[in-house]
Amino acid sequence: MRKADLIKHFGSGVAAAKALEVTKSAVSQWGDVIPEGMAYKAQIVTGGALRVDPSLYPKPHLHPGAAA
């Protein structure tokens, strides 16, 4: 989920922080893409109005033989 979409939905970074129960400084420190866990929380808090885009969160590749 992109931070710009989150802020647009809530109207401000302060409002987004309040809705997600984090500090406004946490929101300001996020890059263009918000942390994956926060994206899922935003999806729940907004009742699905904002949706997680899994393509923004690539999964790490395990080395052959590594435990899954």
- At 65 the pLDDT is 66
> For residue 12, what pLDDT is reported?
97
Q: What is the pLDDT of residue 68?
A: 56
Mean pLDDT by 10 residues, the chain (68 residues): 98 98 97 97 98 93 67
**Considering the domain boundaries, does residue 37 fall inside one?**
yes
Contacts of 47 (CB under 8 A, 6+ apart): none
Does 40 fall in a domain? yes
Spatial distance between the Cα atoms of 12 and 14, rounded to a whole number of angstroms: 5
Domain range for 41: 3-48
CATH of the domain at 30: 1.10.260.40
What's the number of domains the chain is made of?
1
Q: Does residue 31 belong to any structural domain of this protein?
A: yes
Q: What is the pLDDT of residue 7?
A: 98
